[in-house]
Amino acid sequence: MRILSSELINLPVYAQNGQNLGRIDSFEVDVDAHTILRYHIKTGLIKGLWHEQLVVAQSQVISISKTKMVVKDGVIKKPALSLKKARLASPATK
């Protein structure tokens, strides 16, 4: 079966237990081996709201069809944003 990259992007992703994990946002390709190494899954439902990004290795994929991807339970989580602590300035005294 063949799937175009345009069909992979936004494809729903489910865990074995049926939990909806999100949609494929992007993927990494090994150009030497001509294979997909990892899939990046975006969990946020509304663009711009806080979300997580899950990274799914090729070995964690159970099945892919034109309607969904099913992965093993316990995928690796990677934060979508790196938040740094900011030091707040003290209020000026008069």
* Domains, the chain: 5-78 (2.30.30.240)
pLDDT at 80: 44
pLDDT at 39: 95
Q: Answer yes or no: pTM beyond 0.75.
A: no
Q: What type of residue is 34? A: H
| Beta-sheet strands, E only, within 1-94 | 12-15, 20-30, 35-42, 53-57, 61-64, 69-71, 76-78
Q: Which of 23, 29, 22 is nearest to 9 (CA)?
A: 23
Residues of the chain with pLDDT under 70: 44-51, 75-94
pLDDT at 74: 76
